[in-house]
Amino acid sequence: MPEALEATTKDATAPESVPAAPPAEKDARARSLWSDAWHDLRRNPLFLVSAVLIVVLLAMAVAPWLFTSADPRHADLAKHYLQKPNWSHFFAEDWFGYDIQGRSIYARVIYGARASIAVAVGVTALVTILGTLVGMLAGYFGGLLDTILSRITDVFFGVPFILGAMVVLTSFEERKLWVVILSLAFLGWTQIARVARGSVITIKQADYVVAAKALGASTSRILLRHILPNAMAPVIVVATIALGGYISAEATLSFLGIGLAEPTVSWGVDISSGQEQLRNAAFVLIIPSVMVSITVLAFIMLGDAVRNALDPKLR
């Protein structure tokens, strides 16, 4: 993992305790990896755009009522059956038109953010914890443990993600949010585990780890205080980009009819129900698809920006 290598060597050359440096003087070398990255990120338009997008999307997920007063489940078939979007009515109930049941697409798109983002954030959190744990144990202890954990990782990595998810999810009669989250996490942790393992292997040879060992630090202290914080940089980058991927995966599975299902409001569910009117009312499918794409785009751009900021090779 070349990124891991860059990230750690950078940190290793930036000693935390430089007592003589006066606080007023801005010395680029004395900054830690993260504050250095933050310094870069604040000036990156790509980061700012994606951060604003993500904040808006998160606000939608937490408080959808701030964006619309319409009810996403209210259906008025007689009045609004497949009514075309009214593009000039910004933020109004009929802005994006109505679906086949006469429900406001604008309201559904806003309320759909919660399920889609909850799945993606939930899966990413679980995958990061599990993947880091496996990768760290395999990378740090090596030997037999590494062989076993790596083979297990290979097994899960070899099973195609969507195909595996299809099999797992069919076994649940009722696919609630947490079922989808657990199923995707069950299959998805391998990528992070591989990245974390590679990152830990390069870090465990670093001088500060050797020093900590020589000072008699316990294994758990070395792992938690020295290895973990320094190995996280590439993991966070991969996790951010993967988050976008899980938004897309939720939509794909719902489209296949095995992800979330009605009455849950989610972008995937709406895309799935929109495909039947593809020929006469394509907007029913396209509008939630655009929301999915924007969200994925935002997380990928964020991941790219963070990666660039953490990689000193590009400076």
Partner 1 sequence: MGRYVARRLLQMIPVFIGSTLLVFSMMYALPGDPVRALAGEQAVDPVQIAAMKKELGLDLPLWHQYLNYLTGLFQGDFGTQIATQRPVAEEIARAFPITIRLALFAFVFTTVVGIAMGVFAGLKADMLRDRTLLLITLLLISVPSFVLGFLAQVFFAHQLGWVDPNVSPEAAWDELVLPAVVLGSLSLAYVARLTRTSVAENLRADYMRTAVAKGLPRRRIIGVHLLRNSMIPVVTFLGTDIGTLMGGAVVTEGIFNVQGVGNAVFQALRHREGSTVVGIVTLIVIVYLVASLLVDLLYAVLDPRIRYA
DSSP-assigned letters across all residues of 62-120: H-GGGT--S-TT---HHHHTTPPP-TTSTTSTTTT-B-TTS-BHHHHHHHHHHHHHHHH
Distance between CA 110 and CA 93 in Å, rounded? 11
Q: Which residues bind partner 1 (CB under 8 A)?
A: 151-152, 154-156, 158-164, 166-168, 170-171, 173, 244, 248, 251-252, 255-256, 271, 275, 278-279, 282, 285-286, 289, 292-294, 296-297, 300-301
Toward partner 1, which CB reaches closer, 63 or 314? 314
Toward partner 1, which CB reaches closer, 7 or 227? 7
Toward partner 1, which CB reaches closer, 217 or 297? 297
Given a contact cutoff of 8 angstroms between Cβ atoms, the answer to whether 95 and 85 are in contact is: yes
- Minimum CB distance to partner 1, residue 282 (Å): 6
Question: What are the phi and psi torsion angles at 113 (to 5°)?
Answer: -60, -35
- Minimum CB distance to partner 1, residue 18 (Å): 32
Given a contact cutoff of 8 angstroms between Cβ atoms, the answer to whether 143 and 294 are in contact is: no
Toward partner 1, which CB reaches closer, 25 or 173? 173
Toward partner 1, which CB reaches closer, 114 or 307? 307
- Minimum CB distance to partner 1, residue 186 (Å): 10
The residue written with tokens 């997008």 in the block is 53
- Minimum CB distance to partner 1, residue 202 (Å): 17
Whole-angstrom CA distances from 54 to 48, 117, 177, 187, 295 are 10, 10, 21, 26, 7
Distance between CA 209 and CA 223 in Å, rounded? 9
Toward partner 1, which CB reaches closer, 25 or 174? 174
- Minimum CB distance to partner 1, residue 162 (Å): 6
- Minimum CB distance to partner 1, residue 225 (Å): 33
What are the structure tokens assigned to 217, written together? 């630090």
